[in-house]
Amino acid sequence: MGAIRDYFGNISSALTTAAKGMRITWRYFKHEPPITIQYPRERVEPPPSYRGLHILQQDKCIDCHLCAKACPVDCIEIEAIHHGRTLEWKQFSIDYKKCIFCEFCIPVCPVDCIHMTSEYELATEDPDGMVEDLLTWTGLRPEDQRAVEAAVNKKKGVAAPATIESAKGAPEPGSAEDKAAKIAAIKARLKKGSA
């Protein structure tokens, strides 16, 4: 008799529990706003602390490689020629196939010139497109080139111009336009790679 009572008691308990669960589900379904969005037609704005694509204030960078040394997966490649304190830039790239967005590269920078943005759209079908060069310009900017030429000529004691690669030309480094242009360029390249 006790076994029969337990049997029906278990069925009753299961039905009650299911009904409670369904009541909560129905309440959320009817009254709570949806917590999902229709990506990619809608986008979520991540919090400011989100660790997304990097951005470099190239004019402040001193090519110390501390960020590259701090990176646990060796995904930062930096190359620049030093003309005294002026840098002739060749490369400053991050391989996003390896990057784990740990942020270790950020606090070690002695001049606070590398940052992480809240940009998170990285999907691409082209693995090569995931190596991003963060440089705004390569070579020397015109003003840097003039300074280097002057230094070289002073050293030589002649007026011959130095033969150094010219800068590509770019928006004001570190400006909002510069950052927006970099992110737009990265997104365009990723989009092109996945097309």
Q: How far is 113 from 138, CA to CA, in rounded Å?
A: 17
Tokens of 138: 């390569």
Residue number with CB closer to ligand SF4 (67 or 149) = 67
Q: How far is 107 from 31, CA to CA, in rounded Å?
A: 44
Residue number with CB closer to ligand SF4 (104 or 162) = 104
Shortest spacing between CB 98 and ligand SF4, in angstroms? 7
Residue number with CB closer to ligand SF4 (50 or 104) = 104
Q: Restricting to residues 55-74, which ones interact with ligand SF4 according to CB under 6 A?
A: 61-67, 70-71, 73
Shortest spacing between CB 141 and ligand SF4, in angstroms? 16
Shortest spacing between CB 111 and ligand SF4, in angstroms? 5
Residue number with CB closer to ligand SF4 (82 or 146) = 82
Residue number with CB closer to ligand SF4 (71 or 186) = 71
User: Which residues, 6 or more positions from 145, have their beta carbon under 8 angstroms from its beta carbon?
Assistant: 139, 162, 164, 166, 167
Shortest spacing between CB 74 and ligand SF4, in angstroms? 8
Q: How far is 159 from 149, CA to CA, in rounded Å?
A: 9
Check binding of 81 to ligand SF4 (CB under 6 A).
no
Q: Restricting to residues 92-131, which ones interact with ligand SF4 according to CB under 6 A?
A: 94, 99-105, 108-109, 111, 113-114
Shortest spacing between CB 44 and ligand SF4, in angstroms? 21
Q: CA separation (Å) from 107 to 25, 48, 67, 119, 121?
A: 45, 16, 8, 19, 24
User: Which residues, 6 or more positions from 50, have their beta carbon under 8 angstroms from its beta carbon?
Assistant: 116, 118, 120
Shortest spacing between CB 191 and ligand SF4, in angstroms? 22
Q: How far is 99 from 193, CA to CA, in rounded Å?
A: 18
Q: How far is 145 from 169, CA to CA, in rounded Å?
A: 12
CB contact at 8 A, 184 and 107: no
Binding site for ligand SF4 (CB under 6 A): 61-67, 70-71, 73, 75-76, 78, 94, 99-105, 108-109, 111, 113-114
